[in-house]
Chain A
Amino acid sequence: MCGITGIAALSTQANINETDVRSMLPPLRHRGPDGSGVYVDPSRRIGLGHTRLSIIDLAGGAQPMHNEDQTVWVTFNGEIFNYLELRETLLKADHSFHSHSDTEVIVHAYEQYGDAFVQHLNGQFAIALWDGNRQRLLLVRDRVGILPLFYTRQGDRLLFASEIKALLPQLSTAPSISPTALDQIFTFWAPRSPNTLFENIFQVTPGHMLTLENGRLHESSYWDWHFPEQDDYRRDSDTELAEQLYQLLADATRIRLRADVPVGAYLSGGLDSSALVALICKHSNTQLKTFSIGFEEQSLDESVFQQQMVAHLGVENSRIISLNRDIAEDFPATIFHAETAILRTAPAPMRQLSGLVRASGYKVVLTGEGADEALGGYDLFKEAKIRQFWGRHPQSEWRPLLLKTLYPYLETSGTQAKAYLRKYYSIGLDNPGQPGFSHLTRWFTTAQCKVFFSQDLNAALREDAIDRLTGQLPPAFGQWHAFNKAQYLEAKTLMGDYLLCSQGDRMLMSNSVEGRFPFLDHRVIEFANRLDPRLKMRALNEKYLFKQAMKNQLPRQIIERHKQPYRAPDIPAFCSAHPPAYVDEMLSEEKLKHYGYFDAKKVGFLLKKARCGNAIAYKDNMALVGVLSTQLCHYFFIEQFSRTIRATDGACSSLTSH
């Protein structure tokens, strides 16, 4: 895994120079501590930069890399897991290779297949490819958004990089925070691609390719989640399908173990990571090292299940306990790396975990990310299914009571609480066929955090975030099964724009660790998308077929365990007896008013409530974390802009040390 940067000329007047490209590399050193390189083409139309974390072909994989006659150049972040097979194919087609790296495969695959080369790649990637003959630049991001790629126009130049902080040295002024992005974050938990937190800074949408030719930018989609129209599902027997799924997962795991350095795995104790670790043990000979996280708060801690799997499979395990204090102290650095406002602290412990991986001498880990989206695991999918079921008979007394199986706290509030339950979960029930029905309760709960927006911010909002999203869905969306609609929305909002970025790549790469995700192999997704939804959720049994596929590899307790969502303490992390000083500073009336995004009085009430220990509602927790992280983003990337572009990683230390 690596960091990539570059500058392209948007007009004939613009000349690219090497110094400018080099200025973008230091902010990406954490993504590539093992080396760096720059290429500027002779006509000065393009400059490509690269910082390297060496994993495959340690001696020969330096970048930017070129083809035989040096007309095609590439700078690439990621892994092409099928590079050995592709290399064979390309060798037969008379391409000659001068290295054994997966990067070179991209160059020759482009020569062979043109823009369709990306269809031949199985992997995770952000690629900038320059075709000197055609004077044409391609910026490509992997199918689901595992690796990041940002860009912005600056005068008559296009700047692009793996992280926003690498664009900053080439900007003449600090960026500004986009009201639209804040609206999206305080609804969907993240800005929606191609938006970022910042005005005029964009990301290449997952599964898209951006082409620059003759000074014009053109974006196209080369892959998306597709589902069959209703009833056109795979027809094999359940047993056959479970076997096919197992074989596919085994292969997806096998090719992700390809590396010239040792590979570890995250083990949460849940079904997905346990299944993954079992697959790795079964399909590799090396002694596997696993990494786990625990919490001081018992309700969030899964240590018992982690230990069970460690014993069952005989793997090595290292673990850390994430203390509330650690989360608060590391939160500024977490936000500095995430480069966006977030509503949960959950990324912070993930950063601690990647720190443990790095300190243990590892730089690659496999994780179970993506199984819930592809194979149907989330409670939200169950909630949507129950609400659909209820929507067919809205007057039913007992149908909504099924929701209690999902949310045990509804049970504790007694049978009479059903009036509340009815009211709260009946949102949109008059039209269960509407796009977004599955996600309405989450989106509306989250959007209540917008009560803290300042008048100025509210005045700057033009369009409702939910309307905008539902207006941009693919034409076939309306023909899909309700379950598949929910999967699509989950994959395209939360997973692609939040889990894989703020909680995934950024937290891993901030410690120079590469994550690999077998469940997000596009063959697994495409296979799962063709399954009858009842094989993903049988009645209310989630990931049914996946459990069938894995049942012989795992202890029964793991298979039958009630799913526990990964969460970290939010408000409790910041409301200990001695919170770090920045918390008061960033949430002070003065700073809130100065930055202008939030209503200082309302935030004051929230803070007071939080400090009394009374803020138990999800929305209070999300609001406080959202406000604090927005303030931190403004601090790092706007107020301290000139220091941040000089100091890069050091910029966040000044805030955490006092």
Chain B
Amino acid sequence: MMKKTIQHYILGNLLFTEDESALQDGDSFLDSGIIDSTGVLEIILFIEETFGIKVNDDEMIPANLDSVDNLAAFINRKQAIAA
């Protein structure tokens, strides 16, 4: 469910499409050129508002943010810590 929400957001807001085949869960946002330096800020705003977490400076790294898979794993970890 979380991955679907993330995927849906990325598709509609960064790829401007509803074609689900345009994005695989493991696709790197950086390598596929779908975000630039301001795009990272958009993703952070989105996950903070949608999943009620706060992204710290030292967490803004591709390992946390650069694919649907990475985002979902990161959000799960954050929510687990908060809970």
Instruction: State whether B16 touches A452 (Cβ < 8 A).
Output: yes
A407 and B40 CA atoms in complex are apart in Å by 15
Instruction: State whether A614 touches B42 (Cβ < 8 A).
Output: yes
Chain B CB within 8 A of A423 CB: yes
Contact bitstring B34-65, A, C-beta under 8 A = 1, else 0:
00111111100110000000001111111000
Taking a contact as CB atoms closer than 8 A, the residue among A420, A448, A602 that contacts B37 in the complex is A420
Known: A416-B61, A417-B61, A614-B42. 9 other contacts (CB 8 A): A416-B57, A420-B62, A423-B62, A424-B30, A424-B36, A609-B16, A614-B45, A616-B38, A617-B38
Chain B CB within 8 A of A356 CB: no
CB distance from B81 to the nearest CB of A (A): 18
Central interface residue in A410, A414, A606, A617, by most chain B CB within 10 Å:
A617
A239 and B61 CA atoms in complex are apart in Å by 48
Instruction: State whether A423 touches B42 (Cβ < 8 A).
Output: no
Q: A415-B57, A419-B62, A423-B30 are in contact. Are A601 and B17 (CB under 8 A)?
A: yes
A618: B residues at CB distance < 8 A: 36, 38
Chain B CB within 8 A of A523 CB: no
Taking a contact as CB atoms closer than 8 A, the residue among B16, B37, B41, B59 that contacts A421 in the complex is B37
Q: Can you sample 8 A-B contacts with CB below 8 Å?
A: A413-B40, A413-B60, A416-B57, A605-B16, A609-B13, A614-B45, A616-B41, A618-B36
Taking a contact as CB atoms closer than 8 A, the residue among B13, B30, B38 that contacts A605 in the complex is B13
- Majority-rule SS of B interface residues: helix
B41: A residues at CB distance < 8 A: 409, 413, 616
B42: A residues at CB distance < 8 A: 614, 616-617
Instruction: State whether B40 touches A614 (Cβ < 8 A).
Output: no
A410: B residues at CB distance < 8 A: 37
CB distance from A607 to the nearest CB of B (A): 10
Contact bitstring A497-529, B, C-beta under 8 A = 1, else 0:
000000000000000000000000000000000
Number of interface residues of A (CB under 8 A): 30
Chain B CB within 8 A of A14 CB: no
A410 and B41 CA atoms in complex are apart in Å by 10
A413 and B65 CA atoms in complex are apart in Å by 13
Chain A CB within 8 A of B27 CB: no
Central interface residue in A407, A413, A619, by most chain B CB within 10 Å:
A413
Contact bitstring A592-607, B, C-beta under 8 A = 1, else 0:
0000000101110110
Contact bitstring B1-39, A, C-beta under 8 A = 1, else 0:
000000000001101111000000000001001001111
Q: What number of A-B contacts does a CB cutoff of 8 Å give?
A: 75
A420: B residues at CB distance < 8 A: 30, 37, 40, 60, 62
A599 and B36 CA atoms in complex are apart in Å by 22
Chain B CB within 8 A of A608 CB: yes
A606: B residues at CB distance < 8 A: 16
A641 and B51 CA atoms in complex are apart in Å by 52
B39: A residues at CB distance < 8 A: 617
B17: A residues at CB distance < 8 A: 601-602, 605
B59: A residues at CB distance < 8 A: 416
Chain B CB within 8 A of A217 CB: no
A419 and B12 CA atoms in complex are apart in Å by 25
A599: B residues at CB distance < 8 A: 16
A469 and B67 CA atoms in complex are apart in Å by 35
Chain B CB within 8 A of A445 CB: yes
The 6 closest A-B pairs by CB, nearest first: A414-B57, A602-B16, A605-B16, A617-B38, A416-B58, A423-B30
CB distance from A425 to the nearest CB of B (A): 8
Instruction: State whether B37 touches A407 (Cβ < 8 A).
Output: yes
A423: B residues at CB distance < 8 A: 30, 62
Instruction: State whether A413 touches B13 (Cβ < 8 A).
Output: no
A617: B residues at CB distance < 8 A: 36, 38-39, 42
Chain B CB within 8 A of A116 CB: no
Contact bitstring A387-425, B, C-beta under 8 A = 1, else 0:
000000000000000000001011001111101110110
Specify the chain A residue showing the minimal Cβ separation from B19: A601
Chain B CB within 8 A of A451 CB: yes
A452: B residues at CB distance < 8 A: 16
Specify the chain A residue showing the minimal Cβ separation from B28: A423
Specify the chain B residue showing the minimal Cβ separation from A609: B13
A608 and B30 CA atoms in complex are apart in Å by 24
CB distance from A326 to the nearest CB of B (A): 26
CB distance from B26 to the nearest CB of A (A): 17
A60 and B59 CA atoms in complex are apart in Å by 73
Contact bitstring A68-101, B, C-beta under 8 A = 1, else 0:
0000000000000000000000000000000000
Q: A409-B41, A601-B17, A616-B41 are in contact. Are A416 and B36 (CB under 8 A)?
A: no
A40 and B72 CA atoms in complex are apart in Å by 75
Q: A416-B59, A616-B42 are in contact. Are A605 and B12 (CB under 8 A)?
A: yes
A417 and B16 CA atoms in complex are apart in Å by 25
B40: A residues at CB distance < 8 A: 413, 417, 420
Q: A424-B37, A602-B16, A614-B42 are in contact. Are A417 and B60 (CB under 8 A)?
A: yes
Central interface residue in B15, B45, B57, by most chain A CB within 10 Å:
B57
Central interface residue in B13, B16, B36, by most chain A CB within 10 Å:
B16
CB distance from B7 to the nearest CB of A (A): 14
CB distance from A583 to the nearest CB of B (A): 18
Instruction: State whether A614 touches B13 (Cβ < 8 A).
Output: yes
CB distance from A380 to the nearest CB of B (A): 15
Specify the chain B residue showing the minimal Cβ separation from A607: B16
Specify the chain A residue showing the minimal Cβ separation from B62: A419
Instruction: State whether A414 touches B38 (Cβ < 8 A).
Output: no
